[in-house]
């Protein structure tokens, strides 16, 4: 049974969970607490401000999936210590977006080795622009060498670490062009990064290689790697289940098909929005306009 542990400094009651926002800065991050949820023995998820972090620790060391922000790294390390882990050895980046990788800037100076898909490694070495739709586009500058991957892969790679097999697999462009799913085989768990967001419609970063058909393919491929008792760690939001991922995948497929049919009939983006192709899921996933925009853009490029 999973259990939740509260660690660190108490957060301000008004602080919302991060979905898409630039680094809020040291003053705001100073109020953030790190919350740890146990998935199974020696596998936890850390919630703070940014993408969810998976932590595997054992006799061989500590492996993270995603790193949040540099200002939070001391609290993340303290939380790992309280759970029984030591110094961080490896960090896998599920993709290159800043809210999952900026912690690299601090951890890299400490000698942590980073792993990512080839495209994410390329993106971390260059200047990028992200348009999250909900606010103005902004720049993500290139990371210094010590904060970039020392190992990249095209399709899959495997760790034998802390007594289990950890598979890191790319199933094609999805949220971005360089996403990775991280499977903890002994724990029957997977971290999916921002390909899966169980409490909100996803951001398909079409401008940077993201693709709605790719997201559906990616989710179906992950499901095929799992059994129905699997634990699914999303990029943001609570730890969930195989059934939650299956439901989300069917939503993606249904919305994609409805938007495609409207496009085939000659509908403009404004007409697609007016047709409310997501109405059946809005109560669960929230405000759909940006998601519909990205689906439309993905299907018309």
Using DSSP, state whether 17 is helix, strand or coil.
coil
**Residue 133: per-residue pLDDT:** 84
User: What torsion do the CA atoms of 242, 243, 247, 249 make, to the nearest 10 degrees?
Assistant: 20
Q: Which of the pair, 109 or 21, is modelled with greater confidence? A: 109
Mean pLDDT over 203-223 rounds to 98
d(CA 149, CA 124) in angstroms, rounded, equals 8
Looking at CATH, the fold of the domain delimited by 3-243 is given as: Metallo-beta-lactamase; Chain A (3.60.15)
Whether the per-residue pLDDT at 219 is higher than 80: the answer is yes
Whether the per-residue pLDDT at 35 is higher than 50: the answer is yes
- Identify the CA nearest to 5 among candidates 33, 32, 36: 36
Signed CA dihedral, 115, 102, 121, 253: sign only? positive
| Residue 8 confidence class, pLDDT cut points 50, 70, 90 | very low
Per-residue pLDDT tens for 96-150? 999 999 999 999 999 999 999 999 999 999 999 999 887 889 999 999 999 999 9
Q: For the chain, give the number of residues.
A: 301
Q: Let me know: does 193 contact 235? Beta carbons within 8 Å.
A: yes
Q: Provide the 8-state DSSP code for 22.
A: -
- Supply the mean pLDDT for the chain: 92
**Residue 44: per-residue pLDDT:** 98
Per-residue pLDDT tens for 71-90? 999 999 999 999 999 999 99
């Amino acid at each position: 049974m999973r259990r939740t542990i509260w660690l660190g400094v108490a957060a301000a009651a008004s602080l919302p969970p991060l979905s898409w926002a630039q680094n809020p800065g040291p003053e705001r991050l100073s109020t953030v607490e790190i919350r740890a949820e146990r998935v199974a023995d020696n596998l936890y998820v850390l919630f703070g401000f940014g993408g969810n972090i998976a932590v595997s620790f054992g006799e061989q060391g500590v492996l993270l999936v995603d790193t949040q922000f540099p200002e939070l790294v001391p609290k993340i390390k303290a939380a790992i210590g309280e759970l029984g882990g030591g110094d961080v050895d490896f960090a896998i980046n599920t993709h290159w977006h800043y809210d999952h990788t900026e912690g690299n800037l601090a951890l890299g100076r400490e000698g942590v080795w980073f792993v990512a898909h080839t495209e994410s490694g390329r993106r971390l070495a260059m200047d990028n622009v992200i348009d999250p739709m909900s606010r103005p586009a902004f720049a993500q500058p290139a990371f210094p060498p010590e904060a970039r991957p020392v190992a990249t892969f095209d399709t899959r790679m495997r760790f034998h670490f802390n007594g289990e097999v950890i598979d890191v697999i790319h199933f094609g462009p999805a949220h971005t062009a360089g996403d990775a799913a991280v499977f903890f085989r002994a724990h029957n768990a997977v971290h999916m990064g921002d390909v899966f967001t169980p409490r909100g419609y996803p951001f398909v970063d079409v401008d940077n290689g993201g693709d709605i058909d790719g997201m559906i393919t990616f989710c179906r491929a992950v499901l095929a790697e799992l059994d129905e008792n699997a634990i699914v760690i999303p990029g943001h939001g609570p730890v969930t289940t195989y059934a939650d991922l299956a439901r989300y995948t069917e939503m993606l497929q249904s919305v994609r098909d409805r938007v495609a049919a409207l496009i085939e009939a000659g509908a403009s983006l404004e007409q697609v929005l007016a047709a409310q192709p997501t109405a059946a899921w809005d109560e669960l996933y929230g405000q759909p306009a940006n998601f519909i925009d990205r689906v439309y853009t993905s299907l018309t490029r």
